[in-house]
Structure 1
Amino acid sequence: MRHGLWLSFSAAACFPLAAVHAAPGSGQTQTIVSKGVNISKTSDLRFGNFAAGTSLSRFSMDPDSGAIVQLSGDAVSLGGTQTAASFIAYGRPLETVRMTVSQNQIDLTRVNGTEKMRVDQFRFDGGNGTRNRTLSASGSVAYKLGGRLTINPNQTGGAYIGSFNINIDYQ
């Protein structure tokens, strides 16, 4: 058995190495290493205070002005803190970035309860809600985000909270 192993090894070692010829050549490679784009939240999306109605009610937050507009129903906006969410993106100066909301809709849940309200139709500021922006010469750009709040008929009173994710990428 050892003899068979020895012969196999020996035969492999006896191939002439001089038969291999190498030719000179050259090539190039290129890569770009870039700093990633980062995002910082500067304010939360806050719809303010409401009195529930007896019908399904919808309110929209304008991302440019932060104004609340009643779209339907008989719930009443009572004011309070009403602000569009705002973010600042940081990255390579003059590069184009695109911001997106990870979810199409989120549920707000009543603190110390299980009741829910829906937020959907997220919109970015800039008139037509464009998500593509060019970073400034200093490498930053600001975004604002609004959305639509749905209040159920006879919604249970209390504070409702939820969260959403923002993604930002170079284009």
Structure 2
Amino acid sequence: MTFMSSIWRAGIALPVATSALFVQPAQAQSANGQASANINQSVTVVKNADLEFGTFVPGTVRSVFRLNPNNGNLNQRNGDAVAIGGAPAPASFTATGTPLLRVRITSGQNRIFIVRDGGTETMRVNRFRFDGPRNRFLNAAGEATYRVGGQIRVRPNQAPGTYRGAFNVTIDYF
């Protein structure tokens, strides 16, 4: 029976082996894919208002004043200088771009020095603060407005005059 069993197995194996020689490849199938990209308009930034600390009478020691970007209040942190008016107000910037996208504001400087017109005397402005989170979404019209406050240091016996300087902000998508 062993001999018959081997013949029987060989008889089955032979057709399987020969049919493998005549197997036709499966027909190739293809499909198309799509490629896409979104292009957002660039963010533009417009300055609406400058950062204005107001008018001071210097004291005998260094004095520090902080302008709140949320409400425009000027608060004296220390020293004996006196704020005597003017129109303290935060700076204001409006970003315009693709509606509902997320933007971020950053300030390139931690501090700047403003210089007296016609002179070399300086005052330090630092601790720039925003009126809310740095990261915001542009509204349905594609706009977001940021207000920026900061801190100013009035030196003892600071020379009288108008002091000016510039700071920058960057607003971009992220």
Tell me which amino acid in the other structure corresponds to 2:105. M
Q: Which amino acid aligns with 2:141?
A: S
Give the number of the structure whose alpha-carbon radius of gyration is greater: 2
**How far apart in 2 are the matches of 1:99 and 1:76?**
32
Q: Which residue of 2 aligns with 1:151?
A: 154
- 1:170 aligned partner: 173
User: Aligned residue for 2:97?
Assistant: 91
Unaligned runs of 5+ in 1: 1-23
SS in 2 for 1:169: strand
Coordinate RMSD, CA, aligned = 1.5
1:48 to 49, 54, 59: 54
Tell me the residue number matched to 2:137. 134
Unaligned stretches of 5+ residues in structure 2: 1-29
Which structure shows the bigger proportion of residues in helix conformation? 2
Structure 1 stretches of 4+ moved >3 Å = 24-30
d(CA) in 1 for partners of 2:157, 2:33: 72
The 2-side partners of 1:44 and 1:36 are apart by 23
Identity %: 46
Deviations 1:71-127 (A, max 9, x none): 01000001111110011110111111001111110100000000000000000002x
Report whether the alignment pairs 1:102 with 2:105.
no
TM-score normalised according to structure 2 size:
0.79
Q: Distance in 1 between matches of 2:158 and 2:112?
A: 17
Q: CA deviation at 1:29?
A: 4.0
TM-score by length of 1: 0.81
Q: State the 1:148 CA deviation.
A: 0.3
Q: Distance in 1 between matches of 2:91 and 2:153?
A: 17
Structure 2 counterpart of 1:34: 40
| Deviation, structure 1 residue 33 | 1.8
CA distance in 2, matches of 1:39, 1:53: 38
**C-alpha distance in 2, partners of 1:109/1:29?**
55
Report how many residues are paired. Answer: 145
1:70 positional shift: 0.0
